[in-house]
């Protein structure tokens, strides 16, 4: 087989050299490295908005999905000088790492050149990595909870947010669940944000006890319930960003949608092959996510009321 020549991608002011563009990353569909790069260019405004100024862990597949998966915290070697980073500290290891910090679409394209499929940003930005500006509500269904139940729980969560005067921005997870993101004022540390997230999860559980669990140990959860995973707000916990392709055979995408679409959205239909047309027609449903930064005071009062640990 003749090896394909590298492709030069013009990405704004940058030129990114994509080697092995014909390497198959998704064998079930024959989608290649170039297909993956073109996907990210097609949703460029959205993916940059989701990643901008955040420390970002990369899920890399140097040989495609059929090969080894690499969880990359440190910026891969060989980055051009215009690719920016942010230093983060990992107390467990007593070490620091310079992680990718996307400020432009060229950095996303370069990460794809380095075999990145998934982008997993922190919920804080480099101006102060210890103060999150994003609260993440992760609706994680247990094995016997169908997607209709996830939709139902998302509706309950939205009701609580509405009562709080908070705007939540939903997206598919790229798997079987849903995420709701909320911009918050970067005034609290990870522990306080996690505590507020637990208070919110408990309120959703109170309103839908037949559908929701906040039980920590998986073995103790009802398999029909949806777990509201408050711990996704803990320090150094990351989940796939909005518009990130997932490293699964069907190349599903963690796709933003509007609340009016909740009853119709089908996560399995949202892939790197289908989402670009959706983005071109609809734009980014999260385009206004940075317009308002909400406060957590009421949720922290709920946490005090419920006696939740600090």
Report the pLDDT value the prediction gives residue 131, as an integer from 0 to 100: 98
Residue 294 has pLDDT above 90, yes or no: yes
Q: Which residue intervals of 165-255 are DSSP H helices?
A: 190-207
Residue 3 has pLDDT above 70, yes or no: yes
Residue 120 has pLDDT above 70, yes or no: yes
Report the pLDDT value the prediction gives residue 158, as an integer from 0 to 100: 98
| Residue-range domains of the chain with CATH | 7-121 (3.90.920.10), 134-236+291-305 (3.90.920.10)
Which residue is associated with the tokens 């939205």?
Answer: 158
Q: What angle do CA 121, 28, 24 make, to 5 degrees?
A: 70
Report the pLDDT value the prediction gives residue 227, as an integer from 0 to 100: 98
Residue 1 has pLDDT above 60, yes or no: no
Report the pLDDT value the prediction gives residue 119, as an integer from 0 to 100: 98
Report the pLDDT value the prediction gives residue 186, as an integer from 0 to 100: 98
CA–CA separation, 297 and 285 (whole Å):
27
CA–CA separation, 258 and 281 (whole Å):
14
Q: What angle do CA 214, 222, 208 make, to 5 degrees?
A: 55
Residue 91 has pLDDT above 90, yes or no: no
Residue 286 has pLDDT above 60, yes or no: yes
pLDDT tens-digit readout, 32-72: 999 999 999 999 999 999 999 999 999 999 999 999 999 99
Which two three-digit tokens encode residue 35?
């297909």
pLDDT tens-digit readout, 227-279: 999 999 999 899 999 999 999 999 999 999 999 999 999 999 999 999 999 99
Name which of 228, 234, 140 is nearest 195 in CA terms: 234
Report the pLDDT value the prediction gives residue 2, as an integer from 0 to 100: 67
The terminus-to-terminus CA distance of the chain in angstroms comes to 60
């Amino acid at each position: 087989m003749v090896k394909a020549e590298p492709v030069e991608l013009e990405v704004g002011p940058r030129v990114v050299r994509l080697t092995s563009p014909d390497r198959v990353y998704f064998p079930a569909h024959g989608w290649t490295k170039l297909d993956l790069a073109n996907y990210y260019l097609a949703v460029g405004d959205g993916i940059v908005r989701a990643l901008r100024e955040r420390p970002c862990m990369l899920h890399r597949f140097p040989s495609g999905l059929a090969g080894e998966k690499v969880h990359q915290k440190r910026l891969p070697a060989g980055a051009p000088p215009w690719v920016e980073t942010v230093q983060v500290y990992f107390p467990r290891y007593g070490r620091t790492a310079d992680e990718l910090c996307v400020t432009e679409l060229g950095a996303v394209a370069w990460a794809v050149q380095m075999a990145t499929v998934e982008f997993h940003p922190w919920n804080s930005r480099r101006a102060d990595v210890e103060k999150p500006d994003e609260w993440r509500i992760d609706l994680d269904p247990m094995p016997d909870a169908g997607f209709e139940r996830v939709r139902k729980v998302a509706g309950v969560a939205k009701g609580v947010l509405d009562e709080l005067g908070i705007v939540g921005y939903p997206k598919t997870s790229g798997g079987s669940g849903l995420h709701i993101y909320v911009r918050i004022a970067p005034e609290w540390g990870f522990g306080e944000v996690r505590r507020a997230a637990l208070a919110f999860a408990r309120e959703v559980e109170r309103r839908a006890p037949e559908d929701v669990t906040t039980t920590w140990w998986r073995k103790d959860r009802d398999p029909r319930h949806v777990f509201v995973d408050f711990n996704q707000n803990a320090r150094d916990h990351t989940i796939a960003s909005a518009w990130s392709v997932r490293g699964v055979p069907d190349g599903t995408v963690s796709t933003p949608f509007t609340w009016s679409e909740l009853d119709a959205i089908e996560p399995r239909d949202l892939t790197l092959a289908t989402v670009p047309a959706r983005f071109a027609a609809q734009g980014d449903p999260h385009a206004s996510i940075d317009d308002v930064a909400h406060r957590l005071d009421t949720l922290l009062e709920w946490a005090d009321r419920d006696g939740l640990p600090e």
